[in-house]
Amino acid sequence: MRAPWYVAAGWAIDLFLGGNHRAHEDLEIGVPRDRFGEFAAALAGYELWVPASDGDRFVGCQFEDAGERLETHRQTWVREPETDRWRLDLFREPSDGDRWVCARDEGIRLPYDELIEWTADGIPFGRPVIVLLFKATRTDPAGAEEARDRDEADFAAVLEVLDAERRCFLRELLAQIAPGHPWLARLT
């Protein structure tokens, strides 16, 4: 792929930590929304679905039929028809050219080379500060308690190794988006 992409969410935390510290249900990948066509083309043969909430249950429609939902829901689930298995969860992220734009606050922007870090063997993953920012400001009520437990475990694991500069950056971003969040006190 020529477009920037990165492993997101829990697997990004594990890639940063250098090991698997908890179980994962799926693999999330962050991609620029305005270059999503490149990813869709690379996934020919797979089905692309856009999920949404309908009360307390998930519903979905195929990507080509999603219409306005593409603007309000940034996830695309990738299904392998032959096995009937879901393979990926692609986050269609806002961007501005070569800069990532935070979906929670468009004033937060990072060049992709600052957003994306790399493992020693070349796997791109989202900067842990940004991953934790999204975990701290989760808005999806489905499975909220279980998700909070995972997010707390990820935060605690990263906090043990996060240097002062990164702690400060996360504290600044979190204070901007979610003043009063309980993680703020632990980031001092």
Query: Quick one: CATH architecture of 6-186?
Result: 2-Layer Sandwich (3.30)
Asked if the model's pLDDT at residue 144 lies above 70, the reply is no
What local confidence, expressed as pLDDT, does residue 72 receive?
83
Quick: pLDDT tens for 13-71. 999 999 888 888 889 999 999 999 999 999 999 999 998 767 777 778 889 888 888 88
- Whether this prediction's pTM lies above 0.75 is answered by yes
Its sign, for the CA torsion 59, 65, 71, 76, is positive
Residue whose C-alpha is closest to residue 127's, from 39, 25, 9 = 9
The number of residues making up the chain comes to 188
Quick: pLDDT tens for 146-173. 778 889 999 999 999 999 999 999 999 9
What local confidence, expressed as pLDDT, does residue 65 receive?
85
CA torsion, ordered 65, 66, 68, 69, to nearest 10 deg: 170
30 burial via Cβ count (<10 Å: 0-12, 13-18, 19+)? buried
Retrieve residue 86's tokens. 């879901």
Asked if the model's pLDDT at residue 138 lies above 80, the reply is no
What local confidence, expressed as pLDDT, does residue 121 receive?
95
What local confidence, expressed as pLDDT, does residue 140 receive?
59
What local confidence, expressed as pLDDT, does residue 70 receive?
87
Asked if the model's pLDDT at residue 143 lies above 70, the reply is no
What local confidence, expressed as pLDDT, does residue 1 receive?
84
Quick: pLDDT tens for 63-107. 988 888 888 889 999 999 999 999 999 999 999 999 999 999 999
More confident residue, 53 or 126: 126
What local confidence, expressed as pLDDT, does residue 116 receive?
98
What local confidence, expressed as pLDDT, does residue 75 receive?
92
Band (pLDDT 50/70/90 cuts) for residue 188 is: confident
